Amino acid sequence: MRVPCFFRWPGTLKGGVDIDNIAAHVDMMPTLAGLCGTDLPEDRELDGMSLLPLLTGKETNLPDRYFFTHRGRWPV
């Protein structure tokens, strides 16, 4: 399933860019913190990662990720 997400920041983010990398809601906090120039807390580990390199068009080596869900009473 693909769900659109839009970021708009004239002068900072280039418009009209499609990104095919897998992302999830857990990536929003690290990404927004990066856009604001705010450091994330070091006393806890976050599941998400910043998508800032993808949004700014910088070279990135983000790891491949898989997301899945299971619904029903049968084991996976």
Is residue 70 scored above 90 in pLDDT?
Answer: no
- Taking only the tens place, the pLDDT of each residue in 9-56 is 898 888 888 888 888 888 999 999 999 999 998 998 988 889 898 888
Whether the pTM exceeds 0.85: the reply is no
Distances (CA, A) of 14 to 30, 42, 44, 76: 19, 30, 32, 41
Residue 33 CA to residue 40 CA, distance in Å, equals 7
Is residue 76 scored above 70 in pLDDT?
Answer: no
- Taking only the tens place, the pLDDT of each residue in 48-69 is 889 898 888 887 777 777 777 7
> What is the residue extent of each domain of the chain?
27-56
